[in-house]
Amino acid sequence: MCTISRGKLAKVLKSTSNCIFENLAFEEHIFRVSFVLNSRRHQNPWVEVNIPFVHERNIEIVRRHSGGGTVYHDLGNLNISLLTTHAQHCRPKNLKFISDALNNRFSVNIVPNKRDDMELQPGTRKCSGTAARIAKGQAYHHLTLLIDADLSILSKSLKSPWRDQIESNATRSVRASAVGFLKQDDQKANVDESKSAILEAYRQLFDECQIETVNVSEEIRKSEEISKIVEELKAWKWIYGKSPKFKFSGENGSEIEVKDGLIIGTDEQFSTDL
């Protein structure tokens, strides 16, 4: 779900696609058409993700243009993107608005924290993570919302077996002490009702609010530009190659150096299936 606002006017775009590559490409297209691009931070997927586990489960690895910490998505997760002017960009205000809308609809108590995450109380269970992209005079703030998740798969997906063996200056995710989802606290919570709650609150916030359902898959088929962004997001060069240079230490003390996702140096007796 993507929202675009200027002053007291707003537009909400509801995507019909469940493909994370398509939705990120469509979001990026809107940003590129309207805004000037900015620089990005990059993470290391070998540190952030349990690559063997997600490959076995056919879980896609996707690198966002916005940077920020690593998050897990499935069909019990709602993604929200808010595009505004830089002057209107305020993550704490956005998160309070969304948490209030959900708290009013469900029997939950969601509270934003200082890291611009949202947590379920009691227990400070993280149910939403934030990332943002700011350009010259423009910005977007996008976030996840865990509504009905398999926490076992989430935890295993984000637990790299090589995390402690890699030395790098790549930005690392700050691990949440606990993770939760809305349905834990209210069985009536689901993705459609959560969308409805946020849309209704958003409609009341603006003098004029246009709501559209967008067949993102069809938009991509019609647009060579958006199709190209999808292919860029799926490319090995983007997902793995954009990782900052790092050093991997084996159990026997041997090391390999990796740059742009490729091994550039290795000890003679070192072997790994990294």
- Write the pLDDT tens digit of every residue in 133-170: 887 678 889 999 999 999 999 999 999 999 999 999 88
Q: Quote the tokens at residue 182.
A: 């809305």
Please count the other Cβ atoms lying within 10 Å of the Cβ belonging to residue 187.
11
* pTM greater than 0.75 (yes/no): yes
State how far the Cα of 106 lies from the Cα of 111, in Å rounded to an integer.
14
Per-residue pLDDT of 47-73, as tens digits, reads 999 999 999 999 999 998 887 789 999
**Domain parsing of the chain, residue ranges:** 7-42+62-149+175-244
Q: What CATH code would you report for 7-42+62-149+175-244?
A: 3.30.930.10
Q: How far is CA 34 from the centre of its chain?
A: 21
Instruction: Report the C-alpha dihedral over residues 200, 102, 97, 79, rounded to 10 degrees.
Output: -90
Candidates 152, 150, 148, 143; CA nearest to 184 is 148
Report pLDDT for 41.
63
